[in-house]
Amino acid sequence: MNAPVDLERIQTGDELERCPFPIPYGWFGVQYSHELEVGQVKMDTFFGKEWVLFRGEDGSVGITDPYCPHLGAHLGHGGIVEGNNIRCTFHHWQFNSEGWCKEVPYGKVMPGICKKKPVLKTLPVVEKYGVIFAWYHPEDAEPMWDLPIVPEFEDPDNHVDVRYHSWDIGTCIQEIAENSVDTPHLKFLHGAPIIPPVEFEADGPISKYNIMDGYIWGIGHGPGISETRHNKGDVAMLMFALSTPVHAELTRTRMAFTWKKYPEGSEDAKTAEHLYNHSIGEAEGEDSAGFESVDLIVWDNKKYRPNPLLCDGDGPIMKFREYFKQFYVESAE
């Protein structure tokens, strides 16, 4: 049921906020694997704060709080990788990717706590499918669900090389993801010939949506990961979309695309390539526009209406919001 609209008092834009939500919890793709080389230390901002990332010689990835537990030097400025650890530049203490102190080069005895638990805050990390995933929870709760198993990525030999993209979007994930059930905008903003029907269902952290009887089939794995297939006849093109909050009003959305190696030059190969080009807004002679050419105009400038004025032709907006609410630790409203 939609929330009742108080017609006596429609909120003006002055009262509305752009993104009145905390950072949601879940798994997020914080980097493509190729963005972090063996032995590299880098800094990046996501989940509303700065992190230091490093890759050890065995390929393992650490994502840590920037400030050394010893005397607070910034590990991203002058820190280097030693074996599989990050070494602070100030007094050369070393920490592994799980935050355990592994070396104090001049102390006779390590502080007792170093033997009992990690002393540097790190995030749970899993790397697969060419992506470094981190689990974020504002109260450091352990991961509550698994990363998806994606058939196309499990069988890379029979799929075309993955195409990697990334966009910065000036709003929060909830506002971006709400688009998946907002079917009228597909006609009016994107120029689709009709308003396609949509079905949306949710089960715990997993959501599923089906636009136009399977033309677009999406599975959301929490707020940060969605596995969407665009289908035409027997052809399916995978769009693996990873949205990561940089801060409350900025999202970095990475999208990785692949599809089956259809015979070269075949109609199916052309269809798959077209579905891909359409998704990134580069298909030629198209009536309907890909997301980055039109959605960004809206996302970068809109405000969030907690009690929107909906009509009977709108998609299941409130059902979607009910689903998404579970990923916030503090109540948003």
| Residues at the site binding Fe ion, with contacts judged by CB under 5 A | 179, 291, 295
295 binds, among ligand FES, Fe ion, none (CB under 5 to 8 A by kind): Fe ion
Nearer to ligand FES, 91 or 128 (CB): 91
Give yes or no for a contact between 194 and 207, defined as CB atoms under 8 angstroms apart: no
Nearer to ligand FES, 69 or 205 (CB): 69
**What single-letter DSSP state applies at residue 3?**
P
Distance CA 166, CA 310 (A): 32
* Interaction of residue 68 with ligand FES, rule CB under 6 A: yes
Nearer to ligand FES, 63 or 275 (CB): 63
Least spacing, CB of residue 189 vs Fe ion, in Å: 6
Tokens of 278: 């359409």
Give yes or no for a contact between 46 and 251, defined as CB atoms under 8 angstroms apart: no
What are the φ/ψ torsions at residue 80 (nearest 5 degrees)?
-135, 165
**What single-letter DSSP state applies at residue 211?**
E
Q: How many residues bind ligand FES (CB under 6 A)?
A: 9
Give yes or no for a contact between 43 and 66, defined as CB atoms under 8 angstroms apart: yes
Nearer to ligand FES, 33 or 89 (CB): 89
**44, 48, 50, 70: which one contacts ligand FES (CB under 6 A)?**
70
**90, 164, 215, 217: which one contacts ligand FES (CB under 6 A)?**
90
* Interaction of residue 88 with ligand FES, rule CB under 6 A: yes
Nearer to Fe ion, 85 or 179 (CB): 179
Q: What is the DSSP string of 290-327?
A: PHHHHHHHHHTT--B-SS----TTS-SHHHHHHHHGGG
> Which residue type is seen at 138?
P
* Interaction of residue 63 with ligand FES, rule CB under 6 A: no
* Interaction of residue 102 with ligand FES, rule CB under 6 A: no
Give yes or no for a contact between 329 and 318, defined as CB atoms under 8 angstroms apart: no
Q: What is the DSSP string of 268-295?
A: HHHHHHHHHHHHTT--TT-SSPPHHHHH
* Residue located via tokens 């039109």: 294
Tokens of 138: 């504002």
Give the interface segment with ligand FES, choosing from 11-19, 69-77, 213-221, 278-286 (CB under 6 A).
Answer: 69-77
179 binds, among ligand FES, Fe ion, none (CB under 5 to 8 A by kind): Fe ion
Give the interface segment with ligand FES, choosing from 63-71, 118-126, 201-209, 240-248 (CB under 6 A).
Answer: 63-71
Q: Which chain residues interact with ligand FES by CB under 6 A?
A: 68, 70-73, 88, 90-91, 93
